[in-house]
Amino acid sequence: MTNRTVYRDAFTLIEVMVAVMIISVVIMALMQMYANNTHIFSSMKQQTKINQYSSFLISNENYGYIDKNVYLDALVRDFDLENDLRRKLKKIKIKMLYKELESIDVSDQNGDEDIEASSGLAFEIGESLIQTDNGSVALIRFRIK
């Protein structure tokens, strides 16, 4: 009598192909996640730069209330900056747009017609928009007229 017991020492071709397919799907998912994270990181980096540019506008009273195209170094002329940074800012052109949202006149609130009582004071709320080639940022601005 012969004993026909077969011992299985290796994987079959189908098992190997299934394992390779599973590994390739996992690798493709990881590569897609890496690509998405890289894109998100680069867009966040660019938005951070534009937000920093808007801080130049906040600290400069001469710009932001009229529509104007200027290079970024014009906003920081009064600042003490390194020459390398100033050269970089001279290459960046920005477009500033301003839109008045609301104006509040407080000069004659009581109905008094007394000239001395009226202050001629008005508040303006507006939106300043800074646009570069790579993005834009908007600021709500408040000023006294």
Whether the predicted pLDDT of 14 surpasses 50: yes
pLDDT at 35: 94
Identify whether 64 is part of a domain: yes
- Quote the strand ranges of 2-144, DSSP E: 68-71, 93-105, 122-131, 136-144
Q: By residue range, what is the domain housing residue 41?
A: 13-144
Quick check: 97 and 128 in contact, CB under 8 A? yes
Identify whether 8 is part of a domain: no
Quick check: 125 and 142 in contact, CB under 8 A? yes
Backbone angles phi, psi at 92, to 5 degrees: -100, 115
pLDDT, tens digit (0-9, with 9 covering 90-100), for 33-66 = 999 999 999 889 888 888 887 777 776 777 777 8
Whether the predicted pLDDT of 17 surpasses 90: yes
Identify whether 4 is part of a domain: no
Q: Which tokens go with 85?
A: 């940074």
Identify whether 7 is part of a domain: no
User: Does the predicted model carry a pTM greater than 0.75?
Assistant: no
- Please give the Cα distance from 98 to 67 (Å, whole number): 6
Identify whether 3 is part of a domain: no
- Please give the Cα distance from 97 to 2 (Å, whole number): 94
Is 145 or 98 the better-scoring residue by pLDDT?
Answer: 98
pLDDT at 141: 83
Quick check: 141 and 128 in contact, CB under 8 A? yes
Identify whether 110 is part of a domain: yes
pLDDT at 115: 47
pLDDT at 21: 97
pLDDT, tens digit (0-9, with 9 covering 90-100), for 84-133 = 888 888 888 888 888 888 888 877 555 555 544 456 788 888 888 888 88
Number of folded domains in the chain? 1
Q: At a CB cut-off of 8 Å and minimum separation 6, what does 55 contact?
A: none
Identify whether 127 is part of a domain: yes
Identify whether 6 is part of a domain: no
pLDDT at 63: 73
